[in-house]
């Protein structure tokens, strides 16, 4: 995990995602259909119709997708005013609350919602387990909690971790100008539905970022006596560039719980166990830059090239490609 005490989540997302952001143009209808179909595998007659839905954090775009299923209510809570204003202006049928999701009990009682949807949020929270328990508390017994996690043990997570050691939130405005000046801010990339700038702002500048192992996380939920409705199953380590960067889970509430411990992983430690990756990590760490623009060029080039590397299917070529990249940077 990397954590920056001096910056809060609101300040980064309030600056990053403007009116033309891809995040607000891609309504995740497919994701909500998939959620419903996965729940139906454990509850045959499940329907989102007349259900009370809570969207906790994020851009709010999923709230718009849920409306299609005629729920009883859709509530969206987020601490970024721009997000709240945008969703309100798009559809007034979504009840919007501008607040930290940790304050959810101020607005709703225990056992209120049928479904809670937490997409792309858990890994960025200041205290993930604490927030999870607060949200879980307002979920009805037998209700469903969807959440996803950034995956550890993959190349993209390793590169993100290493890059965050080189760049800081204090660089954000200069880096934003760098991308705009070089006309890279709207550059499309193969490994994300977001564009290059949105992906990098979210991964490199957000205050907290954590990565999790799917099997260990699943065990943590089971240990806390929760029922698993769905859980992605991935190997601990993948050296492929095109590895899925997140894993998905759906928890069915079965009584209240007082605590849960979900341990995040350090990708550098994971890959240092492989001798062939030790040199790459060491060389990347040694990179020094006289000027910020030199740093920006290397970071940007690495993630731009990742768009090409993403199509390399043979994992044996991964370290060769990475070493070749770092060799050029060290010249």
CATH number at residue 86: 3.40.50.150
pTM reported for the whole predicted model = 0.92
Helices 9-16, 81-90: inter-axial angle, 10-degree rounding: 50
Q: Are residues 77 and 201 in the same domain?
A: no
Q: Name the stretches of the chain with pLDDT < 50.
A: 5-6
pLDDT of 23: 60
Q: Give me the domain span that covers residue 310.
A: 155-208+267-330
- 63 and 41 co-located in one domain: yes
Residue 170, pLDDT score:
87
Residues 86 and 29 in one domain: yes
Q: What are phi and psi of 322, to 5 degrees?
A: -65, -45
Q: Is residue 260 part of a domain?
A: no
Residue 27, pLDDT score: 67
At residue 61, the pLDDT reads 87
Report the C-alpha gap between 158 and 271 in whole angstroms: 8
β-bridge partners, 55: 76, 117
The position carrying tokens 């699943």 is: 218
Q: What is the pLDDT of residue 113?
A: 98
Per-residue pLDDT, 6: 45
Q: How many domains does the chain have?
A: 2
């Amino acid at each position: 995990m990397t954590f920056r005490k001096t910056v809060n989540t609101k300040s980064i997302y309030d600056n990053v995602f403007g009116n033309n952001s891809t995040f607000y143009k891609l309504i995740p209808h497919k994701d909500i259909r998939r959620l419903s179909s996965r729940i139906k595998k454990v509850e045959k007659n499940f329907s989102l119709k007349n259900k009370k839905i809570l969207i906790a954090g994020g851009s709010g775009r999923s709230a718009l997708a849920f409306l299609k299923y005629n729920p009883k209510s859709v509530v969206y809570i987020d601490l970024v005013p721009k997000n709240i204003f945008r969703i309100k202006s798009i559809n007034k049928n979504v009840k919007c609350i501008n607040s930290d999701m940790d304050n959810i009990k101020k607005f709703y009682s225990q056992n209120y919602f049928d479904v809670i949807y937490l997409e792309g949020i858990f890994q960025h929270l200041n205290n993930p387990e604490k927030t999870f328990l607060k949200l879980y508390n307002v979920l009805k017994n037998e209700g469903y909690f969807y959440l996803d996690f950034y995956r550890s043990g993959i190349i993209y997570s390793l590169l993100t971790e290493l890059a965050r050691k080189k760049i800081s939130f204090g660089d954000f405005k200069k880096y934003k100008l760098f991308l705009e000046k070089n006309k890279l801010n709207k550059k499309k990339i193969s490994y994300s539905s977001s564009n290059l700038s949105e992906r990098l702002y979210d991964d490199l500048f957000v205050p907290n970022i954590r990565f999790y192992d799917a099997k260990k996380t699943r065990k943590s939920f089971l240990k806390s006596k929760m029922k698993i409705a769905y859980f992605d199953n991935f190997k601990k380590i993948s050296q492929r560039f095109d590895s899925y960067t997140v894993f998905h889970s759906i928890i069915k509430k079965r009584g209240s719980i007082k605590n849960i411990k979900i341990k995040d992983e350090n990708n550098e430690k994971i890959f240092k166990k492989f001798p062939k990756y030790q040199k790459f990590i060491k060389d990347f760490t040694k990179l020094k830059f006289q000027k910020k623009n030199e740093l920006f060029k290397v970071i940007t080039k690495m993630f731009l090239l990742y768009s090409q590397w993403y199509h390399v299917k043979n994992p044996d070529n991964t370290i060769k490609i990475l070493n070749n990249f770092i060799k050029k940077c060290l010249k």
